[in-house]
Amino acid sequence: MAGRIKGQLLKGTTTLLVLSVLREGELYGYEIAQRIRDKSGGAFIPSEGSLYPALHSLEAAGALDASWRESDRGPRRRYYKITKGGLGMLEEHATEWAVFSQGMARAVGGADR
């Protein structure tokens, strides 16, 4: 994939990206952003302005549990962990994304894939 994905597309995929990296284990905000960047090969680099509202929304929806912890280096950090409901939401979003991306590939590429 050439370059970075523009902000509007990232906003629509932030939930899927966050849930997918938290499926692997508990992380705090900066680690979540770095994991998304690393796993996407730098194509997605969520800003604080998109990441933290998504985290708060997912927590309010019951998809994430969060807790504050002291840090050896700097201020306390809020760690996020995916819940059973969050795993269900991840599965739902992943299915929707698969249907969307296959449809886009057909529409843009002009071939059945």
CATH architecture for the domain at 7-109: Orthogonal Bundle (1.10)
Task: Determine the Cα–Cα distance for residues 112 and 11; give it in Å rounded to an integer.
Answer: 28
Beta-bridged to residue 65, according to DSSP, are 81
Q: What angle do CA 105, 42, 10 make, to 5 degrees?
A: 55
pTM: 0.85
Beta-bridged to residue 28, according to DSSP, are 79
Task: Determine the Cα–Cα distance for residues 41 and 19; give it in Å rounded to an integer.
Answer: 18
3: which 2 tokens?
């370059």
Q: Where are the domains of the chain?
A: 7-109
> Per-residue pLDDT for the chain (113 aa), expressed as one digit of tens each?
456 665 566 667 999 999 999 999 999 999 999 999 999 999 998 888 899 999 999 999 999 999 999 988 889 999 999 999 999 999 999 999 999 889 999 999 865 54
Nearest to 24 by CA among 11, 39, 2, 41: 39
